[in-house]
Structure formats: C-alpha cells, structure tokens
Amino acid sequence: PTVRDRIARGRFVSVELLPPRTPAGEEALAAALRELAPVHPAFVAVTYGAAGSDRGRTEALVEQLAGTDVLPLPHLTCAAHRRTELVGILDRYIAAGVTSLLALHGDPPLTATEPLPPGELRYAVELARLARDRGIPCVGVAVHPEGHPAADTREQDLDHQAAKLREADFALTQFVNRAEDYLGFVDEMAARGVTTPVVPGLRVISTVQQAEKMALMSGAPVPQELLDRLRAVDGDREAGRAVGVAHTTRVARELLAGGAPGLHFYTMNRATGTLEVLAGLDRA
Ligand code: FAD
C-alpha cells in the first residue's frame, strides 16, 4: 500500500518520528513504536536531518521499518543534495520496498535562493517530480496553512502552495494550533480547484519554552489563550502537559468535524501525548 491508499480509508492516525542519535534515543523510539502500535498508525513519517550527520540515520530507520507491518514515509530534502545523490537515495528506497515519499526543500540554513548549477533542484516540487520519475508511486509535499515564513505576500504563497499540491498525492501540514487555519487553507485550495488531501499535523505543546521555539521554527503563532494557560502553570510539568493535551484534543476534534481526513502527530518520539489526545477524542 501507499500513503495515498491509507489516507483514502479515512479517519486515520499517523505519526512522525525522528531518527535516533544515541542508544538511549533508540530505546525511546522502540518504546514509542510499541506504545503506539495499538492505534495502528496508517503510516510513520521519518524526518530528514538537514545537518549532514543525521542523513544516513533516516535511511537506516526507514529500511528497518519497511521490513515490518509499519508503512514508512521517508522525508527527503532537495536542498541538502545534488541531483545524483537524490537519485541514489530514491533508488535505494525503491529497492527496499518504500512506496511513498515526502518531498521537501529543507530547513534553514539551506536556502531557496542560492545560485545553482544547471540541472540541480531548487524547490520541493522538483523533488516530487524526480521521485515520481524514478518510480516512487506516491509522493507528498509539506504545506504551511498559516503561510510560509519566507513568503512575500499571502496570495503568492497560496498560489505556490496550490501549484505544489496539484503535483502531489497528498500533503502534510506544518503544526496546526488553530483548526480554522487548516480549514481556511483547505477552502483556499478548493477555490483554486485543488482537492489533493491535506493531513493536519498536531503537536502537543506543554511548556512556554516549547511554544516559543515552535513559533520561531514554523512561523506559526501559538494562540494567546494557550500561552496564558501554559504560563499559569509554568514549572509544573504534569499540569503543563494536561494544558497541552486539552488544547490539542479540542483542535483535533474541530479538525475532524471540519472534514480533515485524519490526524498526523508530531510525536518527538514519545507516545504519551498522542495517546492522551486520542483517548480524549474517544471519550467525546
Ligand atoms: P518549497 O515548497 O520548495 O518552498 C521553499 C520556498 O520557496 C518557500 O518560501 C516557497 O514559498 C518558495 N517557492 C516554492 N516554490 C516556488 C516557486 N515555484 N517559485 C518561487 N518561489 C517558490 N525540513 C527538514 O530539513 N527535514 C524534514 O524532515 C522536514 N520535514 C517537514 C515536514 C513538514 C510536514 C513540514 C511542513 C516541514 C518540514 N520541514 C523539514 C521544513 C521544510 O523543509 C521548511 O519548512 C522549508 O522552509 C520549506 O520547505 P518546503 O518543502 O515547503 O519548500
């Protein structure tokens, strides 16, 4: 199966994992996978480190998962590599039985404006085309419902995102903190004739520091109400987590009620927050 097939089944849960860097990290990841198994993740996305040292770890984890019941979705960034290297990675994935790929540009310090030799890839959409040409059956892209931090105008940004979505089988979003941002984005795409499924990404934020870092990374502001609640319990880990879980559960409920096909969780290799949100949804 591909990620597209799994999305088509509807009302699914998927998760994102980070390739571990240490033996302790490997144990934490194995524990998270075990704890998440009962929710049957529709697919498991594996991030790609823009910093050189993590690159091989993504491939290793994806190849390990490809031999199990889990459907892996490797992330790959075009800005990190020359075309020939990208082709090598794609071909190795195909040989390992990988059916789906998330085509990305790549986090800073990789930029989309540096001069490139002819034939090299600048944008995620070009990697999506290359992946398809090499024979990956299902290719997704990233979208930024609240706007990409580097975009000049909202209209231009939405047009770029619509063009990218037209060439993709599905999209995953940047962290969604307010359901209306996702729902408004899907409407904007539909108004441009684009109906590619867009899966909202959720991350439980449980401290003020995480909220600030997240806003900086994604350019997506954290709602004031959530920040105020986190500040009120600053220093109390358990209380902070309860605030984050309650907020994410509410957003998840609104997303599903608004027509989101499923929910993608940025787990940071820990199962607890995701499981608590899902338990909260079941209780509703
Ligand atoms: P692109 O779509 O290529 O866009 C890059 C920039 O170029 C944007 O400013 C866009 O507006 C502009 N642009 C795009 N197309 C055109 C065009 N045709 N003409 C002019 N301008 C254009 N980063 C990692 O390093 N590793 C990961 O594993 C990773 N996973 C991610 C997963 C998700 C779901 C998301 C949302 C992001 C992820 N990122 C990851 C971060 C991502 O690489 C950055 O957000 C990056 O800044 C943009 O990537 P993109 O794929 O959206 O780029």
Q: What whole-number distance in Å separates Cα of residue 189 and Cα of residue 252?
A: 21
147 lines ligand 1 (CB under 6 A): no
pLDDT at residue 148 greater than cutoff 80 = no
Asked if the model's pLDDT at residue 151 lies above 90, the reply is: no
**Closest-lying ligand 1 atom to the alpha carbon of residue 47:** 28
Amino acid identity of 5?
D
The pLDDT of residue 52 is: 60
Is the CB–ligand 1 distance for residue 151 below 6 Å? yes
Complex ipTM > 0.90: yes
> Which CB contacts under 8 angstroms, 24+ apart, belong to 55-63?
55/80, 57/19, 57/20, 57/21, 58/19, 59/89, 59/92, 59/93, 60/19, 61/17, 61/19, 61/20, 61/29, 62/93, 62/96, 62/98, 63/92, 63/96
Q: What is the pLDDT of residues 174-204, one digit of tens each?
A: 999 999 999 999 999 999 999 999 999 999 9
pLDDT digits (tens, 9 = 90+) for 205-254: 999 999 988 878 766 778 999 999 999 999 999 999 999 999 999 999 99
Is it the case that residue 270 has pLDDT exceeding 70? yes
What is the model's pTM?
0.95
Cis peptide before 145 (omega within 30 of 0): no
Q: Which helix (H) or strand (E) holds 66?
A: helix 55-66
Q: Name the amino acid, one letter, at 168.
A: A
Residue 157 has pLDDT above 80, yes or no: yes
> Can you tell me the mean pLDDT for 41-69?
88
Tell whether the model's pLDDT for residue 34 goes beyond 90. Answer: yes
pLDDT score at 213? 87
| Residue 16 bears catalytic tag | yes
Tell me the average pLDDT across 33-49: 96
Q: In this model, does residue 29 exceed pLDDT 80?
A: yes
- Render the burial of 24-50: b for 16+ CB within 10 Å, e for the rest: eeeebbeebbeebeebebbbbbbbbbb
Task: Choose, from 16, 146, 188, 276, the residue flagged as catalytic.
Answer: 16
How far is the C-alpha of 77 from the C-alpha of 9, rounded, in Å? 28
Residue 53: its pLDDT value, please?
A: 65
Q: Which atom of ligand 1 is nearest to the CA of 58?
A: 28
- The residue whose CA is least distant from atom 6 of ligand 1 is 112
